């Protein structure tokens, strides 16, 4: 990638987007962030407000004009804006659809018309749906288990059609349970790691849905940032217009996760070691096990994860301890 390229990061005020803003600014690029603060926060990007290489556009991807303005003069798009969370999509499928599908299409059209060089977007492991096979390999998917999963799969279909029809370069990154600094521990749809960290720090019992033997390929944010960088910079034609699992490639059960969290948090507060876990009913739309094969990313993007789950968790816990206390 050329130095000083202009990168539009949609959803740049969110968890993953703000980490991408940080990385690409540090690499000497111009960063434009488009966000409507639906779930993202000004605090996640406030440190860049005075940076001459950073520009914030407060706007909505459901609005075509906002998308058009945001892509003006842009070389690359990292499209992260979406409404995450399976339960949110079950409660309100219409809004999830409007943002994640209509908003995605608006961004694709705007990027096509502006002639951006590459469109890299946040896809999701939820696209594997009810497929039982493990590890998950990119071309073996099942039926979606939630409205959210439908939207993320439709993103892939549209990106593929735009590559074939308009000659756009698109790459989808199927993120697997990403965690790390700035992931929001608050709200009804908080992800499991920040939610459990917050509970444990308050000496309250985290509630595991089900018996805790469900497993996930928890992926530290630095690995995700690396995949975005590799997706933007690959020059091998065989590596574009496709999707990649974006993960570490190891699975951890919810019971193990809580064990690690207690271990790392009790370094700061020994009382946390004694906090008991509670179990609740299983959650609709949840898949039992998730584990990525990262062979394709290794082969075509030369991806080597930087942090394993436990190394990442230690970093994340340290960050939460310093910022939530």
Q: Please report, as ranges, the residues that interact with ligand NAD according to CB under 6 A.
A: 11, 13-17, 34-40, 60-62, 80-84, 99, 103, 122, 124, 175, 177-178
Would residue 148 show up in a list of annotated catalytic residues for this protein? yes
Residue in 48, 148, 158, 175 annotated catalytic: 148
Query: What are the CA-CA distances from residue 240 to residues 60, 173, 310 (Å)?
Result: 27, 11, 31
Nearer to ligand NAD by C-beta: 105 or 266? 105
Q: How far is the CB of 20 from ligand NAD (least distance, A)?
A: 9
Residue number, 38 or 306, with CB nearest to ligand NAD: 38
Closer by beta carbon to ligand NAD, 10 or else 30: 10
Contacts of 202 (CB under 8 A, 6+ apart): none
Nearest distance from C-beta of residue 244 to ligand NAD, angstroms: 13
Distance separating alpha carbons of residues 78 and 171, to the nearest angstrom = 10
Shortest Cβ 270–ligand NAD spacing (Å): 30
> What are the start-end ranges of the H helices in the chain?
15-26, 64-71, 86-91, 93-97, 103-114, 147-166, 192-201, 221-233, 254-265, 295-301, 309-324
Which of 40/312 has CB closer to ligand NAD?
40
Q: Residue 246 Cβ, how far from ligand NAD at the closest point, in Å?
A: 8
Cβ-count burial 76-107 (b if 16+ within 10 Å, e if not): bbbbbbbbbbbebbbeeeeebbbbbbebbbbb
- Tell me the catalytic residues: 148
């Amino acid at each position: 990638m050329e130095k000083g390229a202009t990168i539009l990061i949609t959803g740049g005020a969110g968890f993953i987007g703000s980490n991408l803003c940080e990385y690409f600014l540090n690499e000497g690029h111009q960063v434009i962030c488009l966000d409507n603060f639906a779930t993202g926060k000004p605090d996640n990007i406030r440190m860049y407000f005075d940076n001459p290489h950073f520009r914030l556009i407060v706007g909505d991807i459901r609005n075509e004009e906002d998308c058009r303005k945001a892509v003006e003069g842009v070389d690359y798009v990292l499209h992260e804006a979406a409404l995450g969370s399976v339960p949110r999509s079950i409660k309100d499928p219409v809004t999830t659809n409007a943002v994640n599908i209509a908003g995605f299409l608006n961004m694709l059209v705007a990027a096509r018309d502006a002639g951006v060089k590459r469109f890299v977007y946040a896809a999701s492991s939820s696209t594997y749906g009810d497929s039982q096979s493990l590890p998950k390999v990119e071309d073996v998917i099942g039926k979606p288990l939630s409205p959210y999963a439908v939207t993320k799969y439709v993103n892939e279909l549209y990106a593929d059609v735009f590559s074939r029809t308009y000659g756009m370069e698109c790459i989808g990154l199927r993120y697997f349970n990403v965690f790390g600094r700035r992931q929001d521990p608050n709200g009804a749809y908080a992800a499991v790691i920040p939610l459990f960290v917050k509970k444990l720090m308050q000496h309250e019992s985290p509630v595991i849905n089900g018996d805790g033997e469900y497993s996930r390929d928890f992926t530290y944010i630095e690995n995700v940032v690396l995949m975005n960088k590799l997706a933007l910079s690959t020059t091998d034609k065989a590596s574009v217009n496709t999707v990649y699992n974006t993960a570490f490639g190891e699975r951890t059960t919810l019971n193990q996760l809580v064990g690690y969290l207690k271990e790392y948090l009790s370094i700061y507060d020994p009382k946390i070691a004694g906090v008991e876990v509670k179990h609740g009913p299983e959650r609709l739309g949840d898949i039992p096990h998730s584990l990525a094969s990262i062979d394709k990313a290794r082969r075509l993007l030369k991806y080597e994860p930087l942090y394993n789950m436990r190394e990442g968790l230690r970093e994340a816990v340290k960050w939460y301890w310093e910022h939530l206390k």
